[in-house]
Structure 1
């Protein structure tokens, strides 16, 4: 079947936080650097800046370019290698919208309305009405994946319905429009169930969110990390230093579980339960562990942020590579559909 290709992406919302790092970026870098026993790449990776997807929930585009650059700097600082993984803006590859239009003819609105992820978004965002673009979000996502012949889609279990819609669209297109020379144009991508390392917000909420102000940014220095960690929620029953604690319900301990060394984690859990460790000292240790991991990211981030021309060139080069792939795919699509020159 050849080397699998993975397309992953994020909406450009500006500087990223630890939730983005543990929930996606770490996994991206691992996938990008996978190798086979013979030294060849384990998979091809492409990383999409999904600026069109931003429009499904906000029409404000005044800061979208600056947010794109800030997010890209965080990607690069975290280890995304543009030599291995093209990085590009969805809006700059016109074939995304062309394929989205074609795919929208292959699926009914009632099928999209049954998408459970969409129902959850409408509920969580308290939406009074649904735009056509938001309803068609999974169709644009299908175009994103299939335009680059993505064969694996890393998702959590809640995103499997989106992958299934992509598979249905690929199957329907192939059935209606087999390529006259090569047969089916698209391979039905397989979901790659990935256990994303979720971080709760500093306030104990289900996830980190800049809108809730409960995040630690990848760009935060040690002083900022410590300042934010002081306000992190702990065990509500551990009021005084010597009170026995319950690390399993403590937000700070959940961060220790990800950023501290294994022997440190065990020691903290033991001392928390016995009352030997107070929350103030526990927070200081946690902040230090987080800052230690962020140190090389901060250094690389500073280098990229101080050289905006290089960041812009990386983006433009990634878009050049993406356009080459996209144009080839759309050539196959048009040939299969008998659109264009005969």
Structure 2
């Protein structure tokens, strides 16, 4: 394995929004296409539809299959190249479940209960009871990563505890089980800290969320983007056009910083502070900048939406390629454990 290997994934919740794009998808495409001085790719990238993970917080499955296809269409439209990066459903590679079972023997429930991200989820979802699967989802994540022998895990700071659990499981496995030549099956993956650009929701909330209805979808048309941006929260102290504004607290200005060019951002900031620029005109410029960046994606998305059979073929091919890697890893696992 000459290249570093990365596995990333998302739960299949359907069409993606700008928060997904700036928070993860942009980075995925950049890592997929990154080349070294020799012109060769730096990373082998695998992109996972984490449908098993959906079940850790919801038992509803009616929409998972359709949501997975919609999500993959957004991935493809954003630049994920299935020739370079296998795209596949977790549930279609059964080795994920097998390795999850074996890894669950290597970690205590008390260790999982100390996971700070789990505590945050329980609070955010107002959960009064937890399933075994939800408690163990970091173990399933460890199986996802190590099944493909991921070396690097792109994460934000809040996800570091998950990577540490994966490292602990790899370390414990290697301590107890080695291949006949004494070689360890797994490397301990390293977190690759990524400064995800989180977009505020249109309502000024900390992040975009479909459940809050404060998103701009990657599938939105220019008119839909305009309508949504028109209703967005701005600086509450800037009531009239000539009132001086505070760009640092304005949702729309945070979008300008992402989607408008540097010269325009500087001009908007100056004119907002002086009162020369009103919110209506500022929103029009913002919507236009977002629509311009999204236009190529929207066109590609339309093409893939009309060829859902092609998307299914892409998934089947990705699952075949992922399964080959997963089967090879599990052969080593069983050999090291003297199973089967």
Per the alignment, in what secondary structure is the counterpart of residue 105 of structure 1?
Answer: helix
1:280 corresponding residue in structure 2: 280
Please give the alpha-carbon distance, in whole angstroms, between the structure 2 residues aligned to 1:328 and 1:173: 17
> Would you identify which runs of 4 or more consecutive aligned residues in structure 1 move more than 4 Å?
none
Paired position in structure 1 for 2:297: 297
Residue 248 of structure 1 corresponds to 248
Structure-2-length-normalised TM-score: 0.99
Work out the CA distance in 2 between the residues paired with 1:322 and 1:183.
23
Tell me which moved more, 174-183 or 8-17. 174-183
1:81 and 1:172 map into 2 onto residues whose CA distance is 35
Give the aligned partner of residue 195 of structure 2: 195
Report what 2:52 is aligned to.
52
CA drift at 1:3: 1.2
- Match of 1:23, SS state, is helix
TM-score (norm 1): 0.99
Paired with 2:307 and 2:116, the residues of 1 have a C-alpha distance of 43
The aligned residue for residue 259 of structure 2 is: 259
What SS does the aligned partner of 2:208 have? coil
- Segments of structure 1 that go 5 or more residues without pairing to the other structure are none
Alpha-carbon distance between aligned partners in 2 of 1:181 and 1:20, rounded to the nearest angstrom: 44
Deviates more, 1:69-78 or 1:31-40: 31-40
TM-align CA RMSD: 0.7
Residue 67 of structure 2: aligned partner: 67
Within 5 Å, which residues of 2 pair with 1:95-106? 95-106=95-106
- Residues 249-277 of structure 1, C-alpha deviations (whole Å, 9 max, x = no match): 00000000000011000000000001010
Tell me, what secondary structure is at the counterpart of 2:106? Answer: coil
Q: Secondary structure of 1:206's partner? A: coil
1:80-107: CA deviation from partner (whole Å, max 9, x where unpaired): 0000000000000000000000000000
Shift of 1:212: 0.3
Q: Tell me what 1:326 maps to.
A: 326
Shift of 1:182: 5.6
CA distance in 1, matches of 2:14, 2:95: 25
Moved more, 241-250 or 180-189: 180-189
**Distance (whole Å) between structure 1 residues aligned to residue 178 and residue 321 of structure 2:** 26
What's the offset of the Cα at 1:36? 1.0
Distance in 2 (CA, whole Å) between partners of 1:269 and 1:339 is 64
CA distance, structure 2, for counterparts of residue 323 and residue 212 of structure 1: 37
Q: Which residue of structure 1 lines up, in the alignment, with residue 147 of structure 2?
A: 147
Provide the C-alpha distance between the structure 2 equivalents of 1:234 and 1:182, rounded to a whole number of angstroms: 61
Task: Name the CA distance, whole Å, in 2 between partners of 1:170 and 1:17.
Answer: 34
Shift of 1:2: 3.1
Inter-partner Cα distance in structure 2 for 1:189 and 1:306: 39
Q: How does 1:52-131 map to 2 (within 5 A)?
A: 52-131=52-131
Residue 186 of structure 1 corresponds to: 186
Any stretches of 5+ residues in structure 2 without a counterpart? none
* Secondary structure, counterpart of 1:192 in structure 2: strand
How far does residue 309 in structure 1 lie from its aligned partner after superposition? 1.1
